[in-house]
Amino acid sequence: MKKPIVAPSLLASDFANLEREVKMINDSEADWMHVDIMDGVFVPNFSIGIPVVEAIKRHAKKTLDVHLMIVQPERYVEAFCKAGAEIISVHAEACDHLHRNIQQIKQLGCRAGVALNPHTPVSILENIIADIDLVVIMSVNPGFGGQKFIENTYRKIEQLKKLIVDHHSSALIEIDGGVNQDNAKLLLDKGADVLVAGNFVFSSPDPKGVIARLKGIN
């Protein structure tokens, strides 16, 4: 079994010491840095914006995986790409013309992802799965870190994996929310490729050790 891609979520980091947190991830076994963008409209919370992503990029040595939890993402995708995003995921629920959103991201030279809220069925991606580089399954309701993992996530991974195989897609499956040492192996066994971990990493006295343990699961 191949090793998972581990993407610590900066949403759970110490924003007052963001450079230090980014350098910690640089020095760890993490593969990506997950950056959550919230607008207070699509989700009931605000997070960071384009200038902070630019600041992160100045120090980051890992891939920036930017998750747009915002309405009208097409208005901001180009700016986030210029700020340093290498992967940009938009929410299916926020996009009236999802295929056009995916095309826009790819034309800018970024990898394109689609995120699904817990209530959204994977079948919504049937006609676009072959065009997607990444599917983000939300395993908590988006907007806040530290929430309890939703058990139905395992079934959604199985459904999504079948959809990917049936359509000969190369899309990766990313799990975002409530990932920890207790559920990581089963998530990977079901077909997940990317583990986003926020509080589990940054609340630990040894975040690099936590990342290494996630990376070593097989």
Catalytic residues: 36, 176
Nearest CA to 196 among 32, 60, 43? 32
DSSP-derived 3-state class of residue 4: coil
- The residue whose two tokens read 């676009």 is 128
Nearest CA to 212 among 2, 64, 55, 8? 8
Taking the C-alpha atoms of residue 41 and residue 28, their distance in angstroms, rounded to an integer, is 34
Strand 111-116 relative to strand 5-8: parallel, antiparallel, unpaired? unpaired
Structure-token pair, residue 88: 């940009």
Total residue length of the chain? 218
Query: Is residue 55 classed exposed, middle or buried when 0-12, 13-18 and 19+ CB atoms within 10 A define those classes?
Result: middle
